[in-house]
Amino acid sequence: MSKEFDEVKNDVGEGKEPTTTVRELLRWFGARRRRTGIVKKIQLELDGAGIVTSPDFTKVWIDAEIAFKKAPEPVAIVPPPQDPQGAADTTYSPKDANFLISMLKAANCGVVAVKPQDTIEKAITLMLAHDFSQLAVMPNDRTISGAISWKTIGKRLSQENNLVEVKDAMEAAVALEDTEGLFKATKLIIDHEFVFVRSSLDKKVTGIVTATDLSEQFQFLSEPFLLIGQIENQIRNLINGKYAIEVLQSVCSDADPERKERIQSVADLTFGEYLWIIQNPEHWEKLELRVDRVVFCAEMDKVREIRNDVMHFDPDGIDEEQYDQLRRFSRLMDELEALSQ
């Protein structure tokens, strides 16, 4: 257990509410991302210490600040009512969304705003200075009157309207709670080009998410999948036609005869099974590669581990070091393929 978490437990025990960021909390447990295993480990430690985080560390941006608080006393559970036949009432309760709009960086970076009575010149200057396409129109930090953008200004000018104050070129804006599911919010963002995000706790506006932010986030999440897919194709091409079906089937346990029977080509194997075949010195010789088997397999095993992380489609994504590993290994495969031709 880290000394930082021990200090948190002591502080909470004394009635304090210490704070940190999600990223720091992960670091205390030797992690950089909210993978399933590490989240479970942290949650068990929190539960064991009678502590909760506010907001929930699994539902906010990785650099968001969280507070550690004493967990509320458990509430006695009343048995559900029985119907005349004695069957319990099993009303469906939906699970929380796994991907919330609050997990996006843009939803946590605040907004640049103008008031309805500010001049059009002020709004234009702020948009130019910050390279923004739109601004929030807010009389205070909790109330969104609307938005002003280059588009709304252009529309008003095209009708030869006299623009003096921001309210003369203002349009309605969409605001979502930070607990809104990311995929549900996506349609609204596409339809309206941007949405504002407000805290479900204090109702303050915490950020603006644009269509550009959304596309960057999905690229951030999808690029590792594309790299992994490319590497898997490269591995298949490397070993395709080099081994008898019996060798391919040997990676499957005898306890699963049905799957073993289904393995008829390299396309039927998992990434880990590719590695298992290549690690065998006898099988390695058939590839006729002029590179070191141990080093190659070690690099491939790193890719396997990253692949396991990527499959969770975690909003935290993978870090730059892992990206570099995928890119390096893909380049290595390209070079080996070129040399073999």
Backbone angles phi, psi at 196, to 5 degrees: -90, 150
Q: Among 59, 28, 64, which residue's Cα sits nearest to residue 315? A: 59
Contacts with 197 (C-beta within 8 Å, 6 or more apart), sequence order: 101, 102, 107, 175, 176, 177, 178, 180, 205, 206, 207, 208, 209
Q: What angle do CA 219, 222, 224 make, to 5 degrees?
A: 115
Write down the residue that tokens 């890119």 correspond to.
Answer: 327
Distance, CA of 100 to CA of 181 (rounded, Å)? 4
Measured distance CA(61)–CA(197) in Å, rounded: 13
- Return the structure tokens found at 299: 């690099």
Q: Please give the single-letter amino acid code of residue 2.
A: S
Residue located via tokens 């995928």: 326
Domain boundaries, the chain: 3-70, 103-211, 214-340
DSSP-assigned beta bridge partners for residue 100: 181
Which CATH code for domain 103-211?
3.10.580.10
Assess contact for 329 and 300: CB atoms under 8 A. Answer: yes
Q: Please tell me the predicted confidence (pLDDT) of residue 200.
A: 86
- CA atoms of 165 and 117, how far apart (whole Å): 5
User: In a 10 Å sphere around its CB, with 0-12 CB exposed, 13-18 middle and 19+ buried, how is residue 120 labelled?
Assistant: buried
- Dist CA 166 CA 114 (whole Å): 8
Nearest to 235 by CA among 330, 302, 299: 330
The Cα–Cα gap between 108 and 58 comes to: 15
Residue type, 169: A
pLDDT in tens, the chain (341 residues): 688 999 999 999 999 999 999 999 999 999 888 877 788 899 999 999 999 999 899 888 889 899 999 998 765 545 555 544 443 333 323 334 467 888 888 999 999 999 999 999 999 999 999 999 999 999 998 999 999 999 999 998 888 778 899 999 999 999 999 989 888 899 899 999 999 999 988 899 999 999 988 888 777 777 888 899 999 999 999 999 999 999 999 988 888 889 889 999 999 999 999 999 999 999 999 999 989 999 999 999 999 988 887 776 566 667 788 889 999 999 999 998 887 76
3 state DSSP class of 149: strand
Q: Which pLDDT score, from 0 to 100, does residue 37 have?
A: 78
Residue at 196: amino acid letter: F
> Containing H/E element for 194?
strand 194-198
Segment holding 206, helix H or strand E: strand 205-210
Give pLDDT, residue 95. Answer: 38
- Residue 294 CA to residue 278 CA, distance in Å, equals 10
Residues, the chain, total? 341
Give the relative orientation of helices 320-340 and 211-239 as an angle to the nearest 10 degrees: 40
Residue that is written with structure tokens 């807010």 in the block: 138
Element (H, E) at 230: helix 211-239
* HSE-CB for 172 with a 13 A CA cutoff: 2
C-alpha span between 57 and 34 (Å, rounded): 9
Query: Omega of the bond prior to 55 within 30 degrees of 0, cis?
Result: yes
